[in-house]
Amino acid sequence: MKITSIEAYKIDLRLPEPFSISFKTFTHAENILVVIRTDEGFSGFGECAPFKPITGDSREEAEMLIKAVSKKLMDKDPGDIEDIHKTVEEAEKDTGIHSQTTKAAIDFACYDLWGKNEEKPVYELLGAKTPNVTPTTLTIGIKSIEDTVKSAEKYMELYKDSGLRRIKLKLSGNPEEDVKRVTAVADVFSGELTLDANQGYKDPKIAVKVLDEIFSTVGKRVILIEEPCPKGDLEKMKYVSDRSEIPVFADESAATFEDARKVIEASAARGINIKLQKAGGIYWASKIAEIACENNVSLMVGTMLESSISVAAGANFVSSSPGIINADLDADLYFSVKLTTSETTPPFKYGARLPSGLPGLGIELAEWLIRIIEEDINIAKIST
């Protein structure tokens, strides 16, 4: 099987309401759809969901790297994932442009093609016979206490048939507000909670105090806290991790394989939030999972603001490994525009996002998207 073409399209995904984390409010995602075709007539799909402070790249950088690498990937076998990644890295060296989300998008499309060629879902290529079911969280951004509770109740109603078991709350970095919001949700929602401070606590002592207070009220129903302190300050992270009953997971500080290795070596966190977009795809995510398991570090898998294409890659990856204790595969649920058909979008059931079970990533593009790609309308094509 040989790669015969690579196409890329800019896609803007609008959120129905603004989504706030401790340092940013998002109104939409600026992503790139990547389509790789082969001589056997298969099409593989991938997506870049860049956000510089987390993935380290912008859409412009992703766009430039896709252009630079496309020619080099022609005639390559998409099933030779290692060679594909080497080729992307060579293009990074040649151009001086680094883009983890480009690696991720190309990696997804190649795994998709490899699976389609072998007639196997990606989780099977990764070694699982049947998909492991790992609960996913639905996320509530920073809002007033009243609106946070309303959002939790809305999720409970909307997703009661999906077996919703976990909600994730973004923390603001304001101790009093954060404690109140978490305990207010714990009062109305009987499931488990995860927290994400997105670096909001500059003082690790205050972070420990807030977490102690939350733990004393809500207890073990709070299963983890992501990135309490500023990115890259592993001493602060370790300070919180060593003292908090709530396990600390590194997210922004563990973007790439190298970052994750540093977090593990410093024993700075009890877990790592792998996001395929910042790791550089399934290939690199598997390598992070390997060193984490060797060192008894827990894993969760999260998302950027990404559509069901990238979420399908996440669902296959999560389903392939029993070592992943939590998933945060919800981003696509919030966009009103759907990029994949409803039959092939990873279903939300038993509290988890599961792969559709079809070969490759298991997704088919929505008809409207196929039409605008074919007719090249209302979408920005990145010519290579």
122 versus 260: smaller Cβ distance to Mg ion: 260
Residue with tokens 């550089």: 280
Q: Which residue is nearest to Mg ion (CB)?
A: 251
CB atoms within 10 A of CB 44: 25
23 versus 368: smaller Cβ distance to Mg ion: 23
Q: Which amino acid is at 193?
A: L
Task: Identify the sign of the CA torsion 59, 62, 68, 71.
Answer: negative
The answer to whether residue 251 forms part of the interface with Mg ion (CB under 5 A) is yes
| Binding piece for Mg ion, criterion CB under 5 A, among 3-11, 67-75, 251-259, 318-326 | 251-259
Interior CA angle at 171 toward 165 and 176, to 5°?
A: 115
| CA–CA separation, 343 and 336 (whole Å) | 16
Q: Shortest approach of Mg ion to residue 58 CB, angstroms?
A: 19
According to CB under 5 A, which residues from 202 to 231 bind Mg ion? Answer: 226
Q: Write the burial class of residue 114 (CB in 10 Å: 0-12 exposed, 13-18 middle, 19+ buried).
A: buried
Task: Identify the sign of the CA torsion 261, 264, 61, 66.
Answer: positive
Q: Which of 330, 326, 363 is nearest to 348 (CA)?
A: 330
Copy the structure tokens of residue 34. 């990547």
Q: How far is CA 29 from CA 129, 151, 335, in A?
A: 34, 21, 9
Strands, E assignment, 23-77: 24-38, 43-48
Q: Shortest approach of Mg ion to residue 29 CB, angstroms?
A: 16
Q: Shortest approach of Mg ion to residue 380 CB, angstroms?
A: 29
Please list, in sequence order, all residues whose beta carbon lies within 8 angstroms of the beta carbon of residue 201, skipping any fewer than 6 positions away: 171, 173, 207, 210, 228, 229, 240
Q: Shortest approach of Mg ion to residue 304 CB, angstroms?
A: 10
| Binding piece for Mg ion, criterion CB under 5 A, among 217-225, 245-253, 288-296, 305-313 | 245-253
Q: Shortest approach of Mg ion to residue 381 CB, angstroms?
A: 32
Q: Shortest approach of Mg ion to residue 93 CB, angstroms?
A: 30
116 versus 168: smaller Cβ distance to Mg ion: 168
107 versus 226: smaller Cβ distance to Mg ion: 226
124 versus 196: smaller Cβ distance to Mg ion: 196
Task: Identify the sign of the CA torsion 61, 83, 277, 249.
Answer: negative
Tell me, by CB under 5 A, how many residues bind Mg ion: 3
226 versus 332: smaller Cβ distance to Mg ion: 226
112 versus 251: smaller Cβ distance to Mg ion: 251
Q: Shortest approach of Mg ion to residue 255 CB, angstroms?
A: 11
Site pattern 177..206 for Mg ion (x: CB under 5 A): -------------------x----------
**What is the per-residue DSSP string for 153-189?**
HHHHHHTGGGT--EEEEE--S-HHHHHHHHHHHHHH-
According to CB under 5 A, which residues from 150 to 169 bind Mg ion? Answer: none
Q: Shortest approach of Mg ion to residue 363 CB, angstroms?
A: 24
| CA–CA separation, 341 and 169 (whole Å) | 29
112 versus 196: smaller Cβ distance to Mg ion: 196
- Which positions lie near Mg ion, rule CB under 5 A? 196, 226, 251
